[in-house]
Chain A
Amino acid sequence: MKGSLSPRTPGVLALAGAGLISALATGRPELALIAVPFLVFGGAGLVLAREPQVTAAVEPSRLRLLESEELTATVRVRNDGPEAVEVEVAPIRTGQLAVTPDGTVAVRVGARSEAEIAFLVRPRRWGAHGIGPVAVCTRDALGVMTWEGRLGGRVDLRAFPHEEQLRELVAPLRTEPFLGTHVARARADGIEFADIRPFQVGDRVRQVNWRATARRGSLQVNQRHPEHSSDVVLLVDTFEEARDQARGTLDSAVRTAASLARAHLGRRDRVGVVDFGGTLHWLEPAFGTTQLYRIVDALLASNVAFSYAWRNVDSLPQKVLPPGALILVITPLLDERSIALVSELRMRGCDLTVVEVSPLDHVSPGPTAPDAVAYELWRLQREALRARLQSLGIGVAVWESGGNLGPAVEEVNAFRRSAQPALRA
C-alpha cells in the first residue's frame, strides 16, 4: 500500500511552525505554548506511525444468481501487524452491481486479528459482473498518515436473466427424426392418430383397427404421427436498442431468448443461438441442460456494438442454420440490417418467426405537438413494417416489457396455422 501524509498533517505542522515563529518574532512565549500541542500531535504521529500489514479479500456467498436476487459478499480484512489499525473498506465493482452499504465502511481491526464486513450485492441487470479488489485506506491512531491501496482480486459474478414460464411455443413446420414432443407430419410409430389404411405385410397386429376392419370387411390398420424434435435457432438482434435510464430492449431480448431456450430445450429440441449485430457470435444447435448454460453464458455477453458493417445471411456459417430449423428472430425492429436479414431468410424459405421486443415502452413522445405527430408516424411505420413482414408469411409476436410472452406466441401460432399452406410452399 502507498503511504502518504494525510491532508490534515501539513496544516497541523504549519500551525505549530507559525506559532513558534510568531512567538520568536513578537517575543510572546504564550504563542509558542499554544503551538506545543500541535507540535506534539504532528511529531508523535510521524514517529509512531507504522505501515500496516493488512490484507483483504472479497468472498461472495455464490457466483451465480438471478438478476433480482441478492447475495452477501464478505470482505475479510486481516491485520498481521502488532497494533490495531483503523481500516476503511470499499469493494470496487462494475457499474451494474448495487452494493449495500453504498460507500466506505470503517472498522477497527485488532492486532493480529481479522474483521469481516458483509456487503449485500444485487445486480441491476443480467450479465457478467465483477466485484473486487477492495479499496482499502488505513490510518495511524492519530490520523497523521494514511496508506491506500487495492487488495485482493476480482471475483466474477454471473447474473442470469429472469425467465418466463411458457406454456405454448411456436410450433415448427418441419421436425427432425429424433424423439421429441412435436407431432410430426410424417406417419410412423407415435401416439397421435393420423389415418387408417389397409393392412400390408409387415404391419403389426396391435396396429389393427378392429372397428374399421368390421365396418369395411378387410383388415385396416391405424397410422400415427411420431413425436419428433426440431431445430430451433434464436437469433438475437444486437444492432441497436431503445433504452431508457433503467431498461432497454436488449435486456428484454436476452430475457426472452433465455426463456425460449429453456422452454425448447425442455421439449427436447436442439437449440442454437446467434448474436447478430455489430459483432457476430453463434452457438451451434445442441440438446440438453449443458447447452442451456452455454446459451445463457453466450447471451450474457450480448451487447450493442456500433458498427457500419452490413451483415446478411452469408455472414453466418451454414451449420448454424440447419435446414428446416425454426428461426426465432428476437429483435426490436429498429435497424435496417436486421429487417433485411429477416426478409432474406424468409425469401430463402426458412421457417421464421419474429419476436418483436417493443421499443415503445422505452420511447415517449416529446412535449410539443410536432413531437407527438412524429411519434405517431413512427408508430404507424412500425405497424406497416409488421404488416409487410406478415405478408411475407412471417409471424410477428409483439412482446411489450412487463407483459407475458405466452399470448403473443399463441397469436403467432394462430397466424401460422392460417398461413400454413403458404408457408409450406
Chain B
Amino acid sequence: MRLLAEGLGSTRGGRILFQGLSFAVDAGEALVVVGPNGSGKTTLLRLIAGLLSPTVGRIALADSEDPVSEAVHFVGNQDALKGALTLGENLAFYRSLFGGEGDAVDEALGRMGIGTLAMLPAEVLSAGQRRRAALARLLVSHRPIWLLDEPSNTLDADGQTLLARLMQEHRRRGGIVIAATHVRLNLPDEREISLGGAA
C-alpha cells in the first residue's frame, strides 16, 4: 500500500490554498498535516478521500487500480451520528455500509471506552462521547488509510491516549494514518506536511 500525491493544487472560492504539493505515504507511516486555520488542511484530507477534486494534480494508490475513496476512512469535523438512533444502531449501520467485516459493534465501543452507552440515543451524548463513537467507526470496518481531521478535538486525556494507541496499532498492521491537526499528536516517527504559505 502506497499513497501517491503528485503536483496537487487546490483553489477554493478563487483563492489558491496550496499548489505543487507532492508526497508519498507508505504502509505503516503517519503523516501529520499542520498549518494555521484556513490553510487547507481539511481540503487536503477531502481531496485524498475523493470528496473534492483537485484543481490540478492527482492522487492515486501506487499498487492498485482501485479508487482511493474505497480504501479510506474519513473522520471529519462532524461525527456523522444520527441523534434518533442509538449509538449501537449508528455503528451497526456503518459496519454494514462499509462491508461488515470489522470488529463487532460492542467490541469497538468497548475499546473506545463507551461500551455502556450503546443503547442510548446519540443525541443525548456529550461532544467527547460522540467523537469517541466517530472514532469507533475506524474499528467496525477495516480500511487501510485513515484520514482524521482534528481527531483529538473534544477528547479528554484518556481519549487522546486511546486515540494514539489506535493509530499505532493501525500502523503496525500496515495501515496509513493521515491526520490534520494543530495539537501535537506525538506519533513515533511521524512525518509532517506544513501548509499555510497562502496568506
Say whether A and B bind each other: no
Interface positions of A (Cβ within 8 A of B): none
Interface positions of B (Cβ within 8 A of A): none
